[in-house]
Amino acid sequence: MNINDLKLFVSTAEYESITKAAALGNTVQSNVSARIKYLEEQLGTKLLHRTTRRVQATDAGLKFLKIAKETITAIEDFKAAVHMGDTQPQGLIKIGCIHSTAALRAPGILQRFTAEHPDIDFKLKTATTGDLIKEVLAFKLDGAFVAGEVDHPDLTFQPIVMEELCLVASSIYPSLERLQMHAKRLKLVVFSKGCAYRELLQETLKDAGTKQIKFVEIDTLDGIINTVESGIGLTLLPIELIKNHYAYRNLVTFPLPNKRFAKCMTVFIRRKDYPMSDSYRCFFESIMKGYGTQS
């Protein structure tokens, strides 16, 4: 068992692809399969489920993924310490982000981070809060920007910025009264289940006495904006996002009737038991420098 075997296993488990792992490891697929089989024989357990479509880590594989990543991080940190001053932090940072934060905050975060650390590679994945939490827990992401405080024993969260939320509708409804007149035929245009803003919108409408709620689920932010603009329904998003990115669109915004749902904290989550590599520590310090003091 050597560090290259561990790296091949980590790549295969994270990308769920032997082909991708082979490309990243500059080797052939048959070698990746052979090295992982060797690891399984050495450990006496199955690490991966293989199907014709993809490869997934078993429960034992997920546990070993944590150990493998910790080992790789420790070795890389040691190498960096030995060559301190000679090299800059390197490696790949895999971060998740809810769609609205990706549009509103991620460009500034990436611009600052890549300028400070040009040798560190960065991969950003967008998804709902619920899906991002699952991926951080499964070690597929190093951390993620999600909406709302996260209460999980294996995760820690750092508040980043408080977003002020608003109802967003088509400009064919120039007032909240006009919007309420057509409420029965309007739908909620939202991301899939697991989106924190979707849940807040539901709670807002239920609090206002709306009993029957119908959804239009769309998996892109622009798709949601286009659908809302057409008059099909309404959504809930940060008001700063609408002002900064969609002010030219035929949209109107309304404050939430219940102030309890009017603000939502964007937080950065990561596993408590996963050590920070030098490259990951640089990223964490960068986002705290730029956003950690906002409220």
Is the pTM higher than 0.85?
no
Q: What is the mean pLDDT of residues 78-90?
A: 68
- Weakest-pLDDT range from 8-22, 234-248, 280-294: 280-294
Of 59-63, 213-217, 251-255, where does the model show the most confidence? 251-255
Element (H, E) at 163: strand 155-170
Q: What local confidence, expressed as pLDDT, does residue 293 receive? A: 44
DSSP three-state, residue 97: strand
Query: Which residue, among 21, 71, 75, has the nearest Cα to 48 in the 3D structure?
Result: 21
Q: What is the mean pLDDT of the chain?
A: 87
The residue extents of the domains of the chain are: 1-86, 163-263
The answer, yes or no, to whether residue 69 has pLDDT greater than 60, is: yes
Under the banding of pLDDT at 50, 70 and 90, the label for residue 176 is confident
The answer, yes or no, to whether residue 152 has pLDDT greater than 90, is: yes
Task: Report, at the CATH architecture level, how domain 163-263 is classified.
Answer: 3-Layer(aba) Sandwich (3.40)
Residues 6 or more apart whose Cβ sits within 8 Å of residue 237: 100, 165, 166, 168, 197
Q: What local confidence, expressed as pLDDT, does residue 88 receive? A: 67
Q: What local confidence, expressed as pLDDT, does residue 84 receive? A: 62
Q: Do the domains at 1-86 and 163-263 have one common CATH topology?
A: no
- Over the stretch 214-238, which tens digit does the pLDDT of each residue have? 899 999 999 999 999 999 989 999 9
Q: What is the mean pLDDT of residues 163-190?
A: 85
The answer, yes or no, to whether residue 86 has pLDDT greater than 70, is: no
CB 94 within 8 A of CB 85: no
Q: What is the mean pLDDT of residues 79-84?
A: 70
Under the banding of pLDDT at 50, 70 and 90, the label for residue 295 is very low
Report how far Cα 267 is from the mean position of its chain's Cα atoms. 11
User: What is the topology classification, in CATH, of domain 1-86?
Assistant: Arc Repressor Mutant, subunit A (1.10.10)
